[in-house]
A and B are shown apart, each in its own frame.
Chain A
Amino acid sequence: MTTEHTADPAAPIFRFGSFLRRGEASPDTRQIFLTGGRDADTFYRDRWSHDKIVRSTHGVNCTGSCSWNVYVKDGVITWETQAVDYPSTGPDMPEYEPRGCPRGAAFSWYTYSPTRIRYPYVRGVLLDAYRAAKARLGDPVLAWRDVVENPVTSSAYKRARGKGGLVRSSWAEATEIAAAAHVYTIKRYGPDRLAGLSVIPAMSMISYGAGSRFYELLGGTMLSFYDWYADLPVASPQVFGDQTDVPESGDWFNAGYLMMWGSNIPVTRTPDAHFMTEARYHGQKVVGISPDYADSTKFADEWLRISPGTDGALAMAMGHVILSEFHVRERTPYFLQYMTRFTDSPFLIRLKARDNAFVPGKFLVAADVATGGVVEPSSSAVRDETLASTPHAAFRPLVWDRVGGIADPGGTLADHYGPEGEGRWNLDLSGVDPVLSISELPGAEPVELLLPRFDLPGAAGQGSVGAGVVRRGVPAVRVGDEYLTTVYDVLLAQYAVGREGLPGEWPKGYDDATVPATPAWQEELTGVPAAAAERIGREFARNAEQTGGRSMIVMGAGTNHFFHSDEIYRTFLALTTMCGTQGVNGGGWAHYVGQEKVRPLTGWAQHAFALDWHRPPRQMISAGFFYLLTDQWRYDGTPVARLASPLSEGSLDGLTTADTLVESMKRGWMPSFPTFSRSSLLLGQEAREAGVDPQDWVVSQLKSGDLRFACEDPDDPENFPRILTSWRTNLLGSHAKGAEFFYRHVLGTDSAAQAEEVPEERRPKHMTWRETAAAGKIDLLLTLDFRNTSTTLYSDIVLPAATWYEKSDLSSTDMHPFVHAFDAAIDPPWEARTDFQTFQTLAALVSQLAARHLGVQTDVVAAPIAHDSPDEFANPGGVVPDIATVGLVPGVTMPKLIVTERDYTAILDKFNTIGPLADGAGMMTKGVRFSPHREIAALGRLNGTAEGGPGDGRPLVDTDAKAADMVLALSGTTNGRLAAEGFADLARRTGTELASLAEGSEDRRITFADLQAHGPQPVVTSPEWSGSEHGGRRYSAFVVNIEHSRPFHTLTGRQHYYLDHDWMRDMGESLPVFRPPLDLHHLYGEAAVGSTGSAPGGEAQVAVRYLTPHNKWSIHSQYFDNLHMLTLGRGGQTIWMSPADADKVGVRDNDWIEATNRNGVVVARAVVSHRMPEGTVFMYHAQERTMGTPLSETSGKRGGVHNSLTRVLIKPSHLIGGYAQQTYAFNYIGPTGNQRDEVTLIRRRSQEVQF
């Protein structure tokens, strides 16, 4: 140090400081160094000390499944930090540690928070009425009847919903009321009037399963969630025949090219975002596609700023470039080989004459090659003239073999079932060399096709909004009277990729904006520069070519929550398949929207749906359920014709979208619970008394008209669902699309719904219209939760639940390949109980009350035609049969009718033991059989067996930990023996080598104790899923299909571009096509986007697109009310808007605004930011109006939640069932609760607010 420095006049003071502290001052006296500090700062050291750390995880709907350390001191949970205990990904990859996010890190706040529900609560009005009735009648069931059947008491407590007055009760009393309600409802209305709502089982499988097991044992209905959330990509069953199967996040690292398309990875996949940032260092190019400057945009090498909901146009243009350059011009061998073997491209389509041209028709199937059929078997164009006599010939689509002509390539749906298909259901193409394009044949003739388009300006009127027709040519081959072409040829036509000598309208070049599918065309729709669309498309393909398919699209809610998102997704998936990226590590689609993966699927399904005791379970499509329950159909009235193809052949004529739902349910395509206009127990009893088979009885009753489907008359009190129980979810604060209609019709309380009921001429044809809509349909809203939400505050009974740090459970996700445990850090405080304990308690009480009121009953279950079973053969050719002609045939033209005996006095016994069907009838998952005899025996030794009762001698599952052991022992992913057995079963069907996938894992058994002791454990590769983790490989979907020739679960056994069901064709969606967001202006009279005007009070208002993306400060509604998150956010409901839109209505940042449309009203504060595009606002979803939301000026009521501005809109093509991959399974297919097409008016409201 220089002396100059020490000459500071303040030096004596510094030295004084060093006298005070006997440390060592630096020579210039500016610093003081002390050694240690351990006594002086005992505070921090003491705070850091803790008594134990418990490793657990979070049961929140983010599919994160992160590993957390929970710190406990003096019996108090103090905080959590992420555990770093994940199994390694190997030397050359980033690890999974330390997965987590700020929301999860704030979880312990809830444990002792003032929003914690500590005791059971009951609505006071109900409680008083019940107590009085009970005192009078003595019997809980009679008391419940007295309360709900008396219109005065009933409407009194229903009207009081959501208006305070919840009072503390005891467990004994609250559960007695709930149990009595269940018993009464079963007895009076039937078990399918009970609905259980719990979501995303993967996030806490046993807590889900405890409740669903309870409901399935009763014969109640479990409601779906994946489709309801609009997270289910309907394109997945359509294209892959699979619910959703995607790569683990670690596989992003393997991609050479990554498009983040409508997926805001840093916000919605926070724990895994690092794989994306790190993959860039690996030389990966990252492209971001979003309307706003999203958090993900920061990482993108390029940002394609797209107009919301127009993504399909961009993808079509990219496809146009890829098909033009790589398929037609360069003929990239890798791509063409992939198309031939793994997609439906080479399959033959029959062309149908229309207006001096043709339209694409049905697949040519073996049944068509018959004398007098489409193709004469003797024709020289046919390789095997016995095709028509092969099994399931109507489900055996055909190709054109290069040498022999029309031929069966094997591996189609026809080979999937039945003894003849054994060893043939594979993608080996043994002996068949299909042509991809008919142009390869010498006899090819050019013909002109008519194809629909939907990108034109909308108009009022009757016809399809914005639709038109384009003319394109394809090469076709004439066989007899029939013209045939391939899917590939039609695909090229659809993408406007011309080839020499073909008639029709073709673009002059990429810059020709007049023809759909060119880069210039998309620019006008999307706002993305044509050159960028062209180049990114080309790069995506070039990278795939260079890397053998390692190009990936991470796609998210930004594109998946639209009405037409199945079509949007099909345009994306087309990119992945035309570049050979599916089934390749580092490639393919990566759909991350509400996707879940219960890795130990088989055992979990047995437990959760009580399949060990009763089959089939009642499982329902929530969008259909709530559409009917909330009476939203009375405000809808959309004629299908307004949405259908201009080339429609009429299968949907005259129907409203509501009609199509009823149609689908009556045909057994979609489930329908409550099913009939009478109790399913009563039907059983009637049949018994009439001495006829219950199935015949029901059919005859339907034929006579004495019995109807409940969906035909949702406002008939006989048809109401009566009990709705929700746990692990927040229906009314998070996912009730059309929330205001829930309040009015489901709950019977105040609502701010603005819509009018539809006039007579627009009402559904197939439904009964009652002049007065029902209000307060539900008798009991029962909710289990640990915190207060909109749902608890509307509930009749609220039971205090244990948090994730207070119970045992299982967790897995598709984001990582591990399964792990919840472990209790403390016992549930106050009077909280685990969900398992609560449902066990209810099971006990119901069993007791049933002794007097129910006993043993015969239940007729109406089950939909089921996916992954021979049911898929129900509707040959995807033709919608005329019921009047073919009659009611259960399992073919109507639901299957299955009779099961329910002993209601034995619900607890069954709840507590593993029933005989698991090992007796065996377990089926996705068509693969598992036989767990050894495992059942071992579980008995491990966990004990029951004595007496129906479960005598059976293994106990009377605790959450034992249930977890059941799940783990009975699943291939956690039990190597079963995985090996499953692959052996599957190999018999495919005839291909599969055993190596489970090799070395046969002896692996993951038990619950292992998970508690050792943290996350890698799962075993199992036929329950389509990918492979074998040898420490990152999981990627469909790897087994591509590498081991396992067919996809589709009609052709391949990935589908083409869907030939009548309804698909009539919707104009046989092929990927661009469908813009719904034109609500012309459909419902909403203000046109961008228009401005005056509110009734004279304030300026602007019409904007209303999007509800995922929030940075919450996981749906969870954590939104957490003080830490509210502090880091803005402390209440907000709507993000652009400066331009804010200026139009005089709004500044943080001003109070109101947003209104036909559905309801929202009050929020504006966040004005230039990262938002003009014409679009974001209300990050599920912000929960419980936190500081004032009263609305518009309605005078509490400002609404984000779903006050949305509603359910039914898309007919989602309702297709009974045909190949378009066949129902739970959460696999169904109408979606899409909500991204909405428009809202925004205005600045008075800045004086009242609460």
Chain B
Amino acid sequence: MKVMAQIAMVMNLDKCIGCHTCSVTCKQAWTNRTGAEYMWFNNVETRPGVGYPHTWEDQDTWHGGWARTKKGRLKPRSGGRLARLAKIFANPDLPELVDYYEPWSYEYDKLLSAPKDSAAFPVARPVSQITGKPMDKITWGPNWDDDLGGSTETMSQDPVLAQMNLDVRTEIEQTFMFYLPRICEHCLNPTCVAACPSGAMYKRAEDGIVLVDQDRCRGWRMCVSSCPYKKVYFNHTTGKAEKCTLCYPRLEAGQPTICSETCVGRLRYLGVLLYDADRVGEAAAVEDPQDLYPAQRSVLLDPYDPQVVAAARRDGVPESWIQAAQDSPIWALIDTYEVALPLHPEYRTLPMVWYIPPLSPVVDQVTASGNDGEDHKILLTALSTMRIPLEYLAGLFTAGDTRPVERSLRRLAAMRSYMRDVNLGGAGDEDIAGAVGMSGAQVEDMYRLLAIAKYDDRYVIPTTHPETPRGIAALGQDVSDLIGAGDGSPEACSVSTFHGQSTLRMTSRGRAAAAASAASQPSTPGRVNLLDWGGDEHASGLFPPAPSEGSDR
């Protein structure tokens, strides 16, 4: 047994309101800059739907994750390493920009600069952020099918529906939807790390965060194709891979990730899990995909087990981390209450962002049937009449096994019934708790964690231990000497590094096109045309003029 610690996340989809605040705060903090316009380290998908990038779950197309060979070995679906090295310059499994979306902006400056006697009310036309050319009709975005928008065109392409053989009708009576926020899974068995030819991707020993070393990344993009969740992105300006960092600069300080802290649904939990690193490969290679969920759980170690605690100390896990593992809401939700489930365990990466599946309303045909309305409990627990097919959720979380999903939903429903009695001033009914294999006290504890959910209960994050030897520099020789220096040096602070909007930097072809277009449509005198400004030269109109310029026209 080799005990390692991982900071993991649970999202309670039953509380997710699909607001995308997480996406925006993440975007603003991390990917609001040149080369990263199309990247959403955190995105939220309406399900059923195709997701971002388009149909990312269709591994027959993208070949992400691991495949199990007949001999029981794991190899990346994109092929063994040699095979991948052979096609390193022509990676066929990469999503293209159209699969993400072509980021665009608008000619905002044309609003105020519209010349006198314009024929029509001024308008800001959409333009590509990649080519600078007009995009008169936006045809795809990172969240195109939000709230089932365009469902008649896209919903049937949802890979989970195909995988589960589900036929979902596009009729209002049968409508269901829920939201799936996604970040990097920071897997225990990450394909992206294994697939990186440069060794630039790594999993941090102390907290399990999977990162790209910006100095060492050579832009081979094997990580992009091998990640089954499509959560590694390629920065088209720096030529480096980038991905969710689990906000490690914040975690190290004991603060939750931005997506967590800003989650207004209060549905995210962060905490420490201990796991047996020696058993990761074995668990990832169990034969039946439906065994992957229990197998992954078996790799997670009981933080209260004295043997585990001793081994953790032996393996250098700091005492405060062991304590955090014991207080971990993640452990409670995965193990104690068994309500959280992994996303697509069949990818065999042992993902570490887990989900509580959503309850959903009963169909109105059932309500019309005159179900006994005197008893709220009947309506609160009618799982069999839920709108969202259990099979769909099982296709997401348990490789198709509906039993764990049903257990999770039953526990949520039982909690509601139990707490209704408490809410009405009575005592909780132990029979309700017992029916889902819990005690009343456990139900109430789970209720406090899920409903009351105070900040300190949602996020139990030990601070980093800088006194422990760490850091790549401590390893000695800088490996970049071996391969050559990268191009990912940190940029200085400017509006462009934080808002991307003065940095519609583009290919030389795009710049030429934009320049031509700008020449034919004069912009505000004295204001820089943001479409062809590279961000590197002086732009007199962008910042306040020197006082001597005065405020005259």
Contact = CB atoms under 8 A, between A and B. Distances in A.
Contacts of B170: 1139, 1170
B1 interface: no
B553 interface: yes
Contact of B471 (A38, A1173, A1251): A38
B202 A1132 contact: no
Contacts of B149: 1130, 1136, 1149, 1167, 1169
Contact of B120 (A118, A124, A301, A1197): A1197
A449 interface: no
Interface in A1114-1171: 1121, 1123-1124, 1126-1132, 1136, 1138-1139, 1142, 1148-1150, 1152, 1165, 1167-1171
Given A101-B264, A114-B109, A274-B265, 17 more contacts: A8-B73, A9-B80, A21-B213, A31-B189, A40-B213, A41-B214, A102-B21, A163-B120, A278-B451, A293-B177, A532-B364, A1124-B28, A1127-B103, A1169-B149, A1170-B171, A1197-B120, A1249-B136
Contacts of A284: 420, 423
A104 B19 CA distance: 11
A5 B73 contact: yes
B121 interface: yes
Contacts of A100: 21, 262, 264
Contacts of B550: 170
Contacts of B455: 84, 95, 97
Contact of B142 (A45, A1123, A1127): A1127
Interface string B127-146: 00000000011110111101
Contacts of A302: 361-362, 364, 367, 379
Contacts of A101: 19, 21, 264
User: Which residue, of B105, B121, B261, B542, has the highest number of chain A Cβ atoms within 10 A?
Assistant: B121
Interface in A17-56: 17-24, 26-28, 30-49
B510 interface: no
Given A37-B211, A274-B266, A788-B112, A256 B423 contact: yes
Interface stretch (B320-328, B394-402, B473-481): B473-481
Nearest to A1189: B123
Interface stretch (B289-297, B299-307, B488-496): B488-496
A1198 B121 contact: yes
A33 B205 contact: yes
User: Which residue, of A84, A112, A164, A1150, has the highest number of chain B Cβ atoms within 10 A?
Assistant: A164
A959 to B, nearest CB: 23
Given A106-B24, A164-B118, A270-B264, A81 B29 contact: yes
B508 interface: no
B85 interface: yes
A2 B19 contact: no
Interface in B165-182: 170-173, 175-178
A165 B117 contact: yes
B210 to A, nearest CB: 10
A164 B490 contact: no
The 7 closest A-B pairs by CB, nearest first: A283-B420, A165-B116, A164-B114, A535-B373, A266-B17, A164-B118, A36-B470
A282 interface: yes
A49 B114 CA distance: 40
A547 interface: yes
B258 A163 contact: no
B199 interface: yes
A76 B493 contact: yes
Nearest to A1250: B136
Contacts of B85: 13
B431 interface: no
B337 interface: no
Contact of A1123 (B21, B105, B173): B105
Contacts of B214: 40-41, 43
A162 to B, nearest CB: 5
A337 interface: no
Contacts of B144: 1130
Nearest to A22: B475
Contacts of A298: 17-18, 176-178, 358, 360-361
B184 to A, nearest CB: 13
Contacts of B21: 82, 100-102, 104-105, 270
B509 to A, nearest CB: 23
B399 to A, nearest CB: 21
Interface in B368-410: 368-371, 373-374, 376, 379-380
Contacts of A468: none
A81 B175 contact: no
A1123 B106 contact: yes
B281 A28 contact: yes
Contact of A37 (B108, B117, B213): B213
22 contacts: A9-B80, A20-B199, A32-B201, A36-B472, A36-B474, A37-B204, A38-B472, A73-B498, A81-B29, A93-B452, A112-B502, A163-B117, A163-B121, A273-B265, A274-B267, A283-B419, A285-B379, A288-B361, A532-B364, A793-B111, A1127-B143, A1128-B23
Nearest to B171: A1170
Contacts of B189: 30-31
A4 to B, nearest CB: 6
A36 B281 contact: no
Interface stretch (A538-546, A679-687, A1080-1088, A1227-1235): A538-546
B236 interface: no
Interface stretch (A232-240, A869-877, A1180-1188): A1180-1188
A300 B361 contact: yes
Interface stretch (B53-61, B242-250, B434-442, B511-519): B242-250
A700 interface: no
Contacts of A1150: 137, 139, 150, 153
Contacts of B311: none
Given A9-B80, A23-B202, A113-B499, A829 B422 contact: no
Contacts of B196: 17
Contacts of A1186: 111, 122-124
Contact of B18 (A118, A266, A1149): A266
B471 A35 contact: yes
User: Which residue, of A9, A49, A270, A1171, has the highest number of chain B Cβ atoms within 10 A?
Assistant: A1171
A1249 B103 CA distance: 21
A1187 B106 contact: yes
Given A1-B282, A102-B21, A1127-B142, A1171 B148 contact: yes
Nearest to A13: B81
A117 interface: yes
A480 B289 CA distance: 88
A1 B278 contact: yes
A1041 B22 CA distance: 41
A16 B85 CA distance: 13
A283 B151 CA distance: 33
Interface in B407-436: 412, 415-424
Given A36-B204, A44-B245, A266-B19, A115 B264 contact: no
User: Which residue, of A9, A30, A1172, has the highest number of chain B Cβ atoms within 10 A?
Assistant: A30
B266 A281 contact: no
A1148 B151 CA distance: 11
A830 B264 contact: no
Interface string B21-56: 101110111101000000000000000000000000
A112 B153 contact: no
B548 interface: no
Interface string A89-105: 00111110111111011
Interface in A721-766: 750
Given A41-B211, A283-B423, A81 B25 contact: yes
A1149 B501 CA distance: 30
A324 interface: no
Contacts of B137: 1150, 1152, 1165, 1247, 1249
A79 interface: yes
A686 B525 CA distance: 52
